[in-house]
Structure formats: C-alpha cells, structure tokens
Amino acid sequence: MTSGTLLRRAGAHAPWSPTAWRDTAFAVSGVPLHLAFPALLVLPWSVWLPFDPVLIALYLVVPAVAALWLMPALTRAHRERCWAMLGLDVPAPPERPGGFRGLPRTLRSDDLWREARYHLLTGPLLACGALAVLGCWAVGAALATLGLYAWALPDTSALSLNTHAVRVGLLNALGVLLFLAAPWAAAAVRDLDGRAVERLLGPDRAKELERRVEDLAEKRAEVVDAADLERRRIERDLHDGTQQRLVSLALNLGLARETLTDVPDPAMKVIVEAHEEVKEALTELRNLIRGLHPPVLEDRGLDAALSGIAARVPLPVRLRVEVPERASSTVEAVAYFVVSEALTNVVKHARATGVDVAVVRDGHTLRVTVTDDGVGGADPAGGSGLAGLARRVRSVDGVFRITSPAGGPTTLTVELPCAL
C-alpha cells in the first residue's frame, strides 16, 4: 500500500471528516432498532410473575407472536437505513405468504430464520459496538480536554494538574487515542452492519445464484433451440427455393445439350461447361443442406438419417440405433452431427478399416459411441473438429469424452440429456 493511499485513508477517518460522522451516525441510529427485537422478548419477564403455567405460556407465546409480527417492519427499517445513510441498496427477499394459512410455510422459510438471526443475535452485538463507538467519542473528548479544566480542581483531587500532572498528561494522551480511534471503530461497525444486512436481510445468495443458473440454462436452451429452428428454416428455403431453381436450370441446360446439334462448337462447349458447373453446384448445395439439418432426420428420425451417413462413408460401418422414444429435435440434431463429424474424422485421419457406431437411449440419456480401429492419437486440441464438436455437445449440457491412445483404437462417447 503506497504512502498516498495511507494518507487518503487516514484523512477519510480523521475525527473531523464527514465520513467519520456519517459512520458514527449510521452505527448509533441502529441501536434502537437493534434492541427493539430482544427487548420485546425480554421486557415481559421484567414484571413479577407468579408461578402459574398458564401465565408462563402466555409470556412465552405472546412476545414470540409480537416479535414475529414486528420483524418485517424492523427489517424494512434496516434496509431503508442502509439506503438513506450509506447508499446501500439491499433488495427484499421474495415475499412470504401472509395470513394464518401461510403461517406454516412462513415458519419453514429460510429467509425468516435468517432475519431472526440478525435481529436476535447480530443486532444486539452491533448495538454494543455502536455504544462502544459512542463511548470512544464521549470519553475520548472528555479525557483529551482534561488539561483545560484540571488546573481549576483542588490540589486534593486525584485529577489536579498541580499535584498529578503526569497522570493528567497520560489521561490526555489516552483521550486523544480514543478520539482518533473512534472513526475507525465506527467504520468497522458500519462495515459489519452493512454486510450483515446484505447477507441476512436480503435475498439468499445461494438461492439467487441457483435461480440465475436456472435462468441462464433456460436461456441457453432457448438460444440453442432458436439456432436449430433457424438452421431448419434455412434448409427449407434452400431446398424449396435455390435447389429447385438449380434443378430447373440443370434440366434446361441438359435439354439444350442433347437437342441443339446445329450450334457452333464454342457455343456447345459453353453449354456443356455450364451444365457440369450447375450439377456440381447442386451437389455442393445438397451437401450444405444436409450439413444444416437433414430433412430425413426430422421426417424419419435418427435411424434413417444415420443409415444415410453410414452408406456414404467409404468404410465398413456397423450401425446400431436403439431409440424407442425420440428425443427433442435439438438433441437429435446434435447426435446426428456428432456421428457425421466423427465419421468424417475417421475417413480423413484415422486410416481405419472399420467403424462401429452405437446410438442408444437409456432413460433420459441418449448415448452415442463411435469406435474405429485406426492409428489413434486423436486430440481435440489438434484442430480436427473435435473441439467444435465438444462445444456443440456442451451447448445442450451433454458430456463429451474421447479415448485415443497411439496405435488405436479411438472411442468417442457422447451423452446427451433427453429432457431438453
């Protein structure tokens, strides 16, 4: 910590600084609120009570009910005090059910018992701290100025400046120390009170974090579903629009190629080249459409879609699909692309002679396993597309594992939740 920072902190905690007086006012203002709750429980017992079980039961039940009724008002007062004096905004926890019918649920509420812990335990301790701060100010001021009036005391007094100058000097020094320490004590009480209000009188942080995680998971699922719907829309547009136009163009060029026999050779060459280009464009477009979202997947499910992939792979593929109940379209799409990308990697990199693919639904989990007898050594960090595949699996809260020792075999396992 630099000397400039130390000087700024010392200046902010000087006895004459606005911060010191604000912290002191905040600490002292909480004393009546801190003591109200325990006083309500203890005050009835200050009255003489004959030994009567009925009266004792009333003295136990009535203050507890009154304290339970007063607790929300005290909680609001503490939150408003933090906002008005510190600018600390502590949101209220979810509102508890009211009325007699909602009483059992209220008594089981974690928020209620956190508030009770603040008012019954933390509050009285903070009140003691605030009174200690007030004592530091008062005693420190009285002792620090002792030398100003000690000279007027008679010589027989224990605080006479004439007969006990050393004692008066030590008390002066103690008063100055107390006066200088009061702002730091006030700041400590302020920090403790502010943190206690946030943790005990505000929303439960663990529950808030849990709700935020649930909200984020729902939003992510919505984004994934929206992306899948958009891919399907683009696939339909390309299939029903652009592809049909290219098919029509290819038919016309093919017809011209077959029927126009009296055109010059350069013109026929142009027609032939255009016909071949259109056919290649159609092939690329079909591959693009299949990569976006294969229509057969939506119409006939994973078995038919994966059979089509296996038929196009130039290797023996042993495919086993056991999905008695279809998963959501998003999960099916992820499973389809996992198998498609895995088979592509096997053909490009594995130098394998065969591949085993198994897609099995076990309860709420869709398990995809792709095993090849290639050279192994597959690494998601090696740029083979496995890293992107792992990200796609994780986007639906799936589990991605790959085992690929040098020399093979390589086994890729993916588990996808079917509850999406």
For 64, 151, 307, 383, the CA distances from 411, given in Å and listed in that order, are 65, 95, 20, 18
At 143 the pLDDT is 78
Other beta carbons within 10 Å of 330: 19
Measured at the alpha carbon of residue 346, what is the angle toward residues 340 and 350, in degrees to the nearest 5?
A: 170
| C-alpha–C-alpha distance, residues 58 and 414, integer Å | 64
At position 390, the amino acid (one-letter code) is A
**What pLDDT was estimated at residue 383?**
59
Question: Which pLDDT band, with edges at 50, 70 and 90, does 149 fall under?
Answer: low
| pLDDT confidence tier of residue 178, bands split at 50, 70 and 90 | confident
Phi and psi, residue 353, nearest 5°:
-105, -5
User: Which of 372, 368, 385 shows the shortest CA–CA distance to 316?
Assistant: 372
Pairing assessment for the beta strands 317-322 and 355-362 based on DSSP bridges: parallel
**Alpha-carbon span 385 to 343, nearest angstrom:** 11
* Distance, CA of 247 to CA of 283 (rounded, Å): 11
Q: What gap in Å lies between CA 347 and CA 18, rounded to an integer? A: 75
Pairing of strands 355-362, 410-417: unpaired
C-alpha span between 290 and 301 (Å, rounded): 14
Q: Name the residue with tokens 């042993």.
A: 318
Q: Is the pLDDT of residue 420 over 50?
A: no
Pairing of strands 365-372, 317-322: unpaired
Q: What is the DSSP string of 309-358?
A: HHHHSSS-EEEEEE-SS---HHHHHHHHHHHHHHHHHIIIII--S-EEEE
> CA 61 → CA 35, 58, 67, distances in Å?
19, 5, 10
Please list, residue by residue across 88-113, b when 16 or more beta carbons sit within 10 angstroms of its beta carbon and e when fewer do.
bebeebeebeeeeeeeeeeeebebbe
| Residue 46, both tokens | 């200050």
Residue 246: name the closest of 196, 273, 216, 286 by CA: 286
Evaluated on CA atoms 169, 175, 177, 179, the torsion sign reads: negative
Average pLDDT score over residue span 145-169? 63
Beta partners for 367? 360, 415
pLDDT single digits (tens) 246-284: 777 778 777 777 777 777 777 777 777 787 787 787 777
pLDDT at 226 over 70: no
User: Is the predicted pLDDT of residue 330 greater than 50, yes or no?
Assistant: yes
User: Which residue did the predictor score with more confidence, 27 or 384?
Assistant: 27
**Integer Cα distance of 416 and 420 in angstroms:** 9
Average pLDDT along the chain: 76
The model's confidence at residue 335, banded by pLDDT at 50, 70 and 90, is confident
Residue 172 to residue 143: CA distance in whole angstroms: 5
Token look-up 């696939």 returns 235
Q: Are 198 and 88 in contact (CB under 8 A)?
A: yes
**Are the beta carbons of 295 and 277 closer than 8 angstroms?**
no
The sheet with strand 365-372 has its strands ordered as: 317-322, 355-362, 365-372, 410-417, 399-403
Helix, coil or strand: residue 376:
coil
Q: How far apart are CA 295 and CA 235, in angstroms?
A: 8
| Mean pLDDT for the stretch of residues 219-236 | 64
pTM of the model: 0.48
Q: Pull the structure tokens for residue 35.
A: 């003591």
